[in-house]
Structure 1
């Protein structure tokens, strides 16, 4: 049955190539991916908000509010349960890091189950109060749609990668009703080097997703009322950007601290209980931490400056500005920990929305505090918006995404200059301390990240030495008589022979020309052993060595071939510059296709 289906698809593809050009076909597929990703975004948002509405106002019970301590625990538990029992054959991963890994090391293959599993698990996590965002799951779901469509139709790596990026752009466009930000995100994060032809499928896919999502879910995320920005406030935008830039460094470091904390807890349900209870307590103390948290930013943009502290146990003190400031500052740091705890405990979501919330709160508290001094009056709403853009830019290392996303979702195009200033400064501060973003550092540490600054190192890091070992060399024991092995030596296709000792460890090599010469002129040729003509190699390489260090050894010793040994020093074969350069060239050509 599978063979028949494969043959049918081959015939269909052949017919398609005759009737439709490859570029036009890719455009059609981009629109299809946009439709599917737009539906996925609408489904995710609708499902999440239905769960939130039901838990918060859909049912009444005398002691319901005590359950708010346990709602996040329940959501994370259901997520972990789903992953353990419904996703068995493949690994379930959250965030954008696995997506970048799929592009660089897995031929842009994103497992098909991510189309629905990302939606289901993130809706449960966030709907029950997990303090994360829906954007990373919908990006992964959209990318899985694009990847699956491309692989199903047998497209090339370049084309599958393009459809994957279309799915990611469509996810952002559908989730935020922001097609421009979706395109910029795909280019800035997934396709850092692209050509103009790649722009057309992204454009159509993102626009289609925005239209489809809007048919089912047309609520605008934020409403910004502003008359513009004042020149005398520029210095304060700069100061805000500096503060957010340093906060983003803290957030990145906190991310690895919390990850390491939960990594040490091996039992999955122990993680759920510890993380769920921690999160429930934080949500109880700081209601803003519940779910995505966008409602607080909406209230602040409307001028309700005590909404951060309202509905908390400290609501009775909202008439004291100093307490509002202190409570908001604590909430910002609590949001950062709550987000990381949600993810570490097993919940599904991303840091996209938390970045916006933390940045927005920092912008609010900055302007609010300055206004209390009476020194100058700042437009608080403007600073909230600028703070969101700055935080997203710094944490994700995506300043253009931050600028255009915030401009689109708030309608704040009149604030483009403040958005540009805050985004650029906060990004530069973070980048000066941390070369890689929160998504790419783990891959960079493992040498698994595509780098467009040092392409040689990037390509070499993608190559594994164990797959380049040439094992068709004749192997001799050091005590073997050459006369007894002459027939094997003659028929050997290589000009080298490996010589091993009794334990199988590499001892040296023989040159076939020298063997023939010595056998011709030596009267005691019947007594010659491999050990007599042995040449010690100047260096050896371990099978776990990276290719860059292998090439450096070859250059330093001025050799073309080196023996490869494993951990117990037994001989595995030889690696040559020829095999390394051939593989390097094929990967380079593949990347050139990817960037076309």
Structure 2
């Protein structure tokens, strides 16, 4: 129940009014930041990627330049502190002494933008989440009467940010519930409800379109056994992604200087981009290409490319993050899932004549790998449906997302985020 120390009707009304005003401000600023980061990144990533495609030397230059630029920004502008991603939010919500300093807003905005634009194999989602969480944290830091509701206000910023990134209000609030907090009360639903309204209004005002344009028709019950197979494979792949990131973090932590991390990480990233340019940035450009051509000519080289993409993406993502890039496993999970779905559907159709629909497997694969990677099946469900603005595959996505999540948990019970939290508590 929303209440103040003096629980009189008048004081309670005044406090609620202030909380509503604060929530509106946090929601608007967070949603606007998310939209700005999304469009600026899309615009410049397309330009830089085109340059690199036309001249391969840029695949060598961009990663080391981008990672070095981030290092100098952190060293000279952002108090010499590295960004820790969603772990920072966990620390802030679970320990009263922890906070998200206001410089985290421009820090994650700029570093997330630079990382992706210069080829870092991750996305802006985690950068947006931490920056919007920092916006929500400003209110309880400035107004002590709101300190009790710090978590709710942080989630308000996050809900607004995720909503505008993926065009899904339900995914926005579910992400806050499944990933950030289990603390649900009337205040949470008031503040986050406001976030959904404000973010949705901005989406309508700017006439935001779905991230991916796809033409779904239907799905068939005979495909359910194959969906189950996809869910299991997605769970396995998510564990591979998680363990790869943790392995790189462990190995790179032994390097003495950030300079060495940047050099080694850039070399790995550049070689990977030269071999498979599809791994550049968030990879959404490559996903759009396979959506546009979901029935390619099947050759040995095509199969090798698909396998290489699935296996190398976690390595390049890990190299990006440990070398100082800003991001997480959000976009990489969606990317891996799309190509995994296409791979499974192609194998089934080519060698087993199952006549499954490849584009359905791509969409379901995106949700499945994301669900397993962040252990949030309902967020993955509504997020992917929001990205395509189509709920035709609602049931198979839900089923496969749950299968993928519990498959990954049986193999390895942690995500990149809660594994770090365990270490934080210890």
User: What range is the shorter-chain TM-score in?
Assistant: over 0.9
Which of 67, 73, 78 is the aligned partner of 1:82? 73
Which of 238, 241, 249 is the aligned partner of 1:259? 249
Which of 213, 231, 234 is the aligned partner of 1:241? 231
The 1-side partners of 2:407 and 2:417 are apart by: 17
What is residue 343 of structure 1 aligned with on the other side? 321
The 1-side partners of 2:16 and 2:82 are apart by: 33
Worse-matched range after superposition: 394-403 or 192-201:
192-201
RMSD, aligned CA? 2.3
Please identify which structure carries the higher helix content: 2
What is residue 43 of structure 1 aligned with on the other side? 36
What is residue 269 of structure 1 aligned with on the other side? 259
TM-score scaled by structure 2? 0.92
What is residue 71 of structure 1 aligned with on the other side? 62
Q: Offset of 1:196 from its aligned partner?
A: 4.4
The answer on whether the counterparts of 1:249 and 1:433 sit within 8 Å (CA) in structure 2 is yes
Q: Offset of 1:339 from its aligned partner?
A: 0.5
The answer on whether the counterparts of 2:294 and 2:342 sit within 8 Å (CA) in structure 1 is no
The answer on whether the counterparts of 1:173 and 1:207 sit within 8 Å (CA) in structure 2 is no
Change (3 A) 1:261 1:60: closer
Aligned length: 419
Which of 144, 148, 151 is the aligned partner of 2:141? 151
What is residue 399 of structure 1 aligned with on the other side? 377
The answer on whether the counterparts of 2:52 and 2:58 sit within 8 Å (CA) in structure 1 is no
The answer on whether the counterparts of 1:41 and 1:213 sit within 8 Å (CA) in structure 2 is no
Q: Offset of 1:305 from its aligned partner?
A: 4.6
Listed as ranges, the gaps of 5+ residues in structure 1 are 1-16, 307-318, 449-596
The answer on whether the counterparts of 1:172 and 1:182 sit within 8 Å (CA) in structure 2 is yes
What is residue 136 of structure 1 aligned with on the other side? 126
Secondary structure of 2:416's counterpart equals coil
Q: Offset of 1:19 from its aligned partner?
A: 8.8
Higher relative contact order (CA closer than 8 Å, sequence separation 6+): 2
Please identify which structure carries the higher strand content: 1
TM-score scaled by structure 1? 0.67
C-alpha distance after superposition, 1:406-448 (max 9, x if no partner): 1111123121111111110110111123333220112213436
What is residue 93 of structure 1 aligned with on the other side? 83
The answer on whether the counterparts of 2:152 and 2:187 sit within 8 Å (CA) in structure 1 is no
What is residue 29 of structure 1 aligned with on the other side? 22
Q: Offset of 1:374 from its aligned partner?
A: 5.1
Q: Offset of 1:148 from its aligned partner?
A: 0.6
Change (3 A) 1:377 1:320: closer
Asked if 1:416 corresponds to 2:394, the answer is yes
What is residue 436 of structure 1 aligned with on the other side? 414
Q: Offset of 1:380 from its aligned partner?
A: 0.8
Listed as ranges, the gaps of 5+ residues in structure 2 are 1-9
Change (3 A) 1:159 1:212: same
Worse-matched range after superposition: 123-132 or 439-448:
439-448
